[in-house]
């Protein structure tokens, strides 16, 4: 009872003392401390200050992307009916694997005569707007050559939004194109542990925009024997003069997604480009520039059709190069 009365008296004193609209000193100190703490928190956890420190990727001064060591792949495999090349005796499997918190879907095509743990494997990246199902024509051709393929659905189906990715980069968030590169690396991890595969016989092949991600991924994963780019090229970012570029962050990001930036890191993996002189989307001149920048070992083959992407006229050169890479 006495404690209760004492509390009321103290309350009255407080009210009387604060009648002049003054804030009690303890509250002032608390608010000041809170503001300071919020300021420190903002500095420490501002995403723009986190690049290369807390995010699972970083960019070197030269503009090259890198990731920390990857965890063991987590995936599921289910054999499905082959609706895309039913005349072939291949085994088709639906593969779902984890990558950066997402489930990536892929189709693995296994030649019927593949023997356990000895087959060579190819990660297959479609061009922009092409699904894993739409890439099964080329996958079937590669199967006839004796190769297991893993064709994946890239984020945005391989399409890129460089402006949006630059905004993410400035905010310290992971651009979608970085995620697409990481997905490709995880796909290689998944393929390497399949029972049909010899992990020392892996390569990567990409068409059009998929070829760009294929080149970057191959440069980042030395276990891959080589990369074949069909109807692809770099962007030529490095041709600009860095000293004359006002927006250094935009330039740094642009270099990080340009396959040309990674060409010096490819060897000893082999680079192969197959392109049409009359490509309707990516000019032959762009592909030739990328090839000229690349170090040995490398090779380039040309066809003449007015087309973009794989054609039957590329088959013999493709088969010859895969033999060199994987056998």
Residue 21 has pLDDT above 70, yes or no: no
Contacts of 202 (CB under 8 A, 6+ apart): 120, 121, 122, 123, 188, 191, 192, 223, 224, 225, 326
The per-residue pLDDT for 2 is 37
The per-residue pLDDT for 212 is 98
Burial of 43 (0-12, 13-18, 19+ CB in 10 A): exposed
**How many other CB atoms sit within 10 Å of the CB of residue 243?**
5
Can you name the residues that pair with 102 across neighbouring β-strands? 99
The alpha helices in 121-274, defined as continuous H runs, are 136-144, 162-170, 176-192, 209-220, 248-256
CA separation, residue 4 to residues 7, 14, 15, 276 (Å): 5, 16, 17, 91
Calpha distance 108→123 (Å, rounded): 9
**What is the per-residue pLDDT across 77-122, written as a single tens digit (0 to 9) for each?**
999 999 999 999 999 999 999 999 999 999 999 999 887 789 999 9
Calpha distance 295→264 (Å, rounded): 6
State the Rg of the chain over Cα. Answer: 28
CA separation, residue 87 to residues 81, 110, 157, 287 (Å): 12, 14, 27, 35
Would you state the structure tokens that stand for residue 130, as one six-digit string? 């092409």
Identify whether 297 is preceded by a cis peptide bond (ω within 30 of 0). Answer: yes
The per-residue pLDDT for 9 is 37
In this prediction, residues 199-211 reach a mean pLDDT of: 98
CA separation, residue 104 to residues 101, 179, 302, 306 (Å): 9, 11, 33, 33
**Percent of the chain scoring above 70 in pLDDT:** 82
**What is the per-residue pLDDT across 285-305, written as a single tens digit (0 to 9) for each?**
999 999 999 999 999 999 999
DSSP structural state of residue 36: H
Pairing of strands 270-276, 226-230: parallel
In this prediction, residues 255-265 reach a mean pLDDT of: 96
Residue 208 has pLDDT above 80, yes or no: yes
């Amino acid at each position: 009872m006495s404690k209760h009365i004492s509390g009321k008296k103290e309350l009255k004193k407080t009210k009387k003392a604060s009648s002049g609209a003054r804030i009690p000193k303890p509250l002032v100190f608390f608010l000041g401390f809170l503001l300071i703490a919020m300021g420190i928190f903002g500095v420490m956890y501002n995403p723009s200050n986190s690049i290369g420190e807390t995010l699972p990727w970083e960019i070197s001064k030269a503009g090259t992307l890198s990731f920390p060591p990857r965890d063991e792949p987590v995936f599921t495999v289910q054999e499905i009916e082959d609706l895309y090349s039913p005349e072939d005796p291949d085994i088709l499997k639906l593969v779902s694997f984890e990558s950066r918190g997402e489930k990536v879907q892929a189709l693995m095509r296994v030649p019927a005569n593949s023997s356990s743990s000895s087959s060579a494997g190819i990660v297959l990246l479609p061009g922009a707007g092409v699904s894993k199902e739409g890439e099964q024509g080329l996958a079937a051709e590669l199967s006839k050559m004796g190769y297991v393929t893993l064709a994946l659905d890239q984020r945005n189906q391989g399409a890129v939004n460089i402006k949006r990715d630059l905004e993410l980069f400035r905010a310290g968030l992971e651009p979608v194109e970085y995620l697409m590169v990481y997905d490709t690396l995880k796909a290689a991890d998944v393929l390497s542990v399949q029972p049909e595969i010899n992990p020392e016989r892996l390569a990567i092949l990409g068409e059009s925009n998929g070829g760009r991600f294929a080149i970057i991924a191959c440069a980042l994963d030395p276990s891959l024997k080589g990369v074949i780019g069909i109807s692809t090229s770099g962007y030529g970012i490095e041709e600009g003069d860095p000293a004359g570029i006002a927006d250094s962050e935009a330039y740094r990001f642009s270099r990080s997604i340009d396959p040309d930036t990674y060409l010096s890191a490819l060897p000893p993996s082999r680079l192969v480009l197959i392109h049409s002189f009359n490509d309707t989307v990516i000019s032959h001149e762009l592909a030739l520039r990328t090839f000229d920048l690349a170090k040995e070992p490398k090779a380039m083959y040309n066809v003449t059709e007015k087309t973009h992407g794989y054609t039957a006229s590329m088959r013999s050169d493709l088969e010859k190069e895969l033999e060199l890479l994987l056998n």
